[in-house]
Chain A
Amino acid sequence: MKTYLTFLWRCFRLSFVGDGRYYAWMFFLTAVALLGLNAYCRQIVHGLSVTGMTDQVSWGLYIANFTFLVGMAAAAVMLVIPVYIYRNRELHDLVIFGELFAVAAIIMALLFVTVDLGRPDRFHHLFLRFNFPISMLTWDVLVLNGYLLLNLHICGYLIYCAYRGRRPGKAFYLPFVFIAIVWAVSIHTVTAFLYSGLGSRPFWNSAVIAPRFLASAFAAGPAFLILTLGVLRRIGAYEVPPKAFLTLRNIVTVAMTINMFLLGSEVFTEFYTDSAHTASARYLYLGLDGRAALVPWIWSAIAMNTAALVLLYLPVSRRERFLHPACVLMIVGIWIEKGMGLIIPGFVPTPLGEIVEYTPTLNESLVSAGIWAFGLLLFTILVRITVPVLSGRLTERTGYTPDAPPRTPEHAHADAQGGAA
């Protein structure tokens, strides 16, 4: 126990160590997170009318971000599959980064749901009357929190073992890793079922929602990981094998291709049928009755996604000069597609045919930016701790030794076996 507390204390202190860029980044994130907290306090006092949501469009930026982040969290498993199923040992340690990202993303998603609630002080009602298994929201609560615990356990165990110089016991993490693969698919499927189970919203009441969610998540998540690993490589913090980038790139390309195919399938079904049920799709892609606020957004998203996909198919995207911009385009495009392209059109027109458009307010955007900043802050700290542990610079025996020569992961394990337990 004492060792664990010492470990936590060392991690806490280590998160304040870094160079000028690190401090600038952390200050920026802290500032934005505090602005978000401030905006949320205003929301607590005045109610959700400080957001742009209305009875007609009753879910907005918060739930859009929630949906996107659940997808990103699910995508962490995309590193797990090649490593553990295809036994790609070189990428072994990158699994941890993926799962750390999953932890941060799930925490962000849970925060987004919390700020969207009208009465967050009644959270405990979920434990007292739980409408499981009928309400899909209850499934969502269970799978998201379960996934968080799963990833916290796996990462925490592996990092703590590396810190202590021990070889991790397979029984303590391998079954959980395999569970996590299935569980990751389930979190985003359950989130998709939240929408596709509603007969009142024909735009969502489609079987293609769940596959599309998974495809777009498995494109955006690994893209984000590519960017993170690129940053780590660039600041010289960690030795990232090029194979990692290539594997991730392949995953992203395949997932994005499937996503575009499903998009085409959805667009065809809506516009060829041309029934009254397609009003929401009309509103999104073409505008309805003179109201067309979302039209530029969806077409930009499609353009970005197409450009990213084309870029990924070209061999030049093996170089980070082209890979990173493609990833950025993809993440932004998928964010728009999931948020403005899915959530908002489900509410326009209302089931009674009224058209009220939605624009997030500044307060709402600040809360959202604040949660993103907090999540990135968390992720930065987690990575800041993990990298020295994995490279042998933060161990139980020696404490924090930044000048020590780096250990490769294999050496770290061999050392542990030879060294004191």
Chain B
Amino acid sequence: MRLPILNSPSGANGNGGGSCGSGCGCAAGDDGPQGANGPGMSRRSFLRTGTAAAGGLTAIAAALSPLRELEREDAPSLEQFLQKHYKEMTPDDMERALERIRAQVERRYGIRPELRDYKPMDGVEFVYALNISRCIGCRKCVHACVAENNQSRSPEVQYIRVIEMPRGTMDIEKGNHHYDRPTVPDEGHFYLPVQCHQCANPPCVKVCPVEATWQDADGITVIDYDWCIGCRYCEAACPYWARRFNFSKPRLPADQVNPNMGYLSNRPRDKGVMEKCHYCLQRTRQGRMPACLEVCPTGARKFGNVLDPDSEVAQILRTKRVFVLKEDAGTLPRFFYYFDERYPSGLDPEAAEIARRLEHEEGERYGRLPGADGPELRWRDLTPNQRGTLA
């Protein structure tokens, strides 16, 4: 049984070796196959080999040609390549890294940022509470977060996702993420904003192979954007879909840059790394409120140090009926939803019916009676049923 060998004159095909493809290595060589042909044939086969090899090299160069579009900044500098993990950086290392990032931001956006590495405060454990009786689903929190945290606008990265839930269920799969109504809140629905819950037992920290994400002492789960390798295992592991990946280079207009930046929070990220809500630690580790809370018009969001018994969040946990999402996942989130004793008016159908009768169709943004000429609502006009439901 033979291999079909073609470059020997006594080969099975009897073609005298002329049917050899190129590169058979049978030209000169003391350990070449027996019966190597004469010099004329080997020059030809050498030429064949050479042209084929040249063609191959050209093809390889063409294959690699898109790399010429790489920008200088895409390729990591030696300093970046050798940068240590956050937890191993000395203060000098950190200052060098901060200076590098400041220079990079100035180059890209023309703004010299105020960039610091904010350390956690002692004796602080952050907790977020959200009053679902008050959330009206306006999504201002979503966009305030985008404005504060230098997120990519195209493709748009939003850390907060507001879900419109039908009344009567807590099954998130029945929710609608893409509601686009003329006004909110809509009757028969309530609203659940979801962002990173900074879980006390975080599955994302468990699965990261390089420890690029970890939980700091104040409860915030942070990401070192210079350490992440972009494997996206954490994104698969999060039960709240809180983590985002930069599939392409983030695009941020220079006039929308927030120059107040933190190393582990809102400094501009690069493509190929993960990011997520970090409770605006460039604000909160200085004692301020996160951006989503400040913009919330109804005051549905509450934030603070749960270790302080007088804080708003500690009081909420003591006095309100709180719950967490997906408690059975065992993640121990630090984000609690709570509700007041009564329905918000958006949910009470009888009240909504009366309100509809009272409000203009082409309502301005504020509820109004139909002019000053319409019928007034008097206690004696209400049916007993209606009297019972108006709080």
Contacts and interface: CB of A to CB of B under 8 A. Distances in A.
A393 B271 CA distance: 52
Interface in B209-230: 209-212, 227-230
B358 interface: no
Instruction: Find the residue from B74, B75, B232 having the highest chain A CB count within 10 A.
Output: B232
Contact of A125 (B5, B63, B229): B229
B266 to A, nearest CB: 19
A37 B65 CA distance: 10
Given A47-B246, A48-B272, A346-B236, A239 B1 contact: yes
Interface stretch (B17-25, B284-292, B316-324): B17-25
B206 A130 contact: no
A166 B264 CA distance: 60
B179 interface: no
Contacts of A351: 172, 238-241, 326
B68 to A, nearest CB: 9
A137 B209 contact: yes
B46 interface: no
A49 B237 contact: no
Contacts of A399: 31
Interface in A271-298: 276, 279
Contacts of A34: 59-60, 62-63
Contacts of B171: 276, 353
A124 B8 CA distance: 49
B245 interface: yes
B245 A58 contact: yes
Given A41-B65, A47-B271, A354-B177, A137 B231 contact: yes
Contacts of B209: 126, 130-131, 135, 137-138, 141
A45 B233 CA distance: 22
Interface residues of B, number: 83
Interface string A343-384: 000110111111000000000000000000000000000000
A403 B8 contact: yes
Contact of B230 (A42, A117, A130): A117
B5 A403 contact: yes
Given A17-B25, A198-B237, A200-B237, A55 B211 contact: no
A113 B240 CA distance: 25
A199 B59 contact: no
A374 to B, nearest CB: 12
A131 B63 contact: no
A402 B63 CA distance: 36
A37 B63 contact: yes
Contacts of B239: 199-200, 351
Nearest to A122: B229
A104 B56 CA distance: 22
Contacts of A128: 84-85, 210
A321 interface: no
A37 B64 contact: yes
Contacts, number: 236
Contacts of B19: 19-20
Interface residues of A, number: 84
Contacts of A123: 229
Given A13-B25, A118-B246, A135 B230 contact: no
A402 B24 contact: no
Contacts of A88: none
B330 interface: yes
A99 interface: no
A42 B194 CA distance: 35
Contacts of B329: 199-200
Contact of B31 (A10, A20, A131, A137): A10
Given A128-B85, A352-B240, A116 B231 contact: yes
Interface string A99-127: 00000000000000100111111111110
A46 B24 CA distance: 40
B89 to A, nearest CB: 12
B372 interface: no
Interface in A38-62: 38, 41-42, 44-49, 51, 53-56, 58-59
Contacts of A121: 75-76, 81
A353 B176 CA distance: 8
Contact of A59 (B76, B194, B232): B232
Contacts of A400: 31-33
B3 A135 contact: no
A406 B7 CA distance: 18
A131 B64 contact: no
A58 B278 CA distance: 21
A123 B171 CA distance: 40
A235 interface: yes
B391 interface: no
B275 to A, nearest CB: 11
B190 to A, nearest CB: 15
A117 B194 contact: no
Contacts of B155: 49
B2 A122 contact: no
Contacts of B241: 55-56, 350-352, 354
Contact of A16 (B25, B233, B243, B247): B25
Interface string A6-37: 00001001101111101100000011001101
Contacts of B84: 128
Contacts of B8: 402-403
A418 interface: no
Nearest to B10: A403
Nearest to A56: B241
B174 interface: yes
A41 B67 contact: yes
Interface in B107-152: none
Contacts of A401: 33-34
B62 A198 contact: no
A239 B3 CA distance: 11
A416 interface: no
B22 to A, nearest CB: 8
Nearest to A398: B31
B203 interface: yes
19 contacts: A16-B24, A17-B25, A20-B19, A30-B56, A41-B67, A47-B248, A49-B247, A118-B246, A118-B274, A121-B75, A122-B228, A134-B206, A135-B207, A137-B231, A199-B203, A199-B330, A200-B240, A235-B4, A403-B10
Given A48-B272, A135-B233, 11 more contacts: A37-B60, A54-B247, A58-B236, A113-B231, A134-B207, A135-B206, A135-B209, A198-B236, A199-B239, A237-B1, A276-B171
Instruction: Name the 3 nearest CB pairs between A and B, nearest first.
Output: A118-B230, A118-B272, A353-B173
Interface of A: 10, 13-14, 16-20, 22-23, 30-31, 34-35, 37-38, 41-42, 44-49, 51, 53-56, 58-59, 113, 116-126, 128-131, 134-138, 141, 194, 197-201, 235-239, 276, 279, 346-347, 349-354, 387-388, 391, 393, 399-403, 406
Interface of B: 1-8, 10, 19, 21, 23-26, 31-34, 56, 59-60, 62-67, 69-70, 74-76, 81, 84-85, 155, 161, 163, 171-175, 177, 194, 203, 206-212, 227-233, 235-241, 243-249, 271-274, 326, 329-331
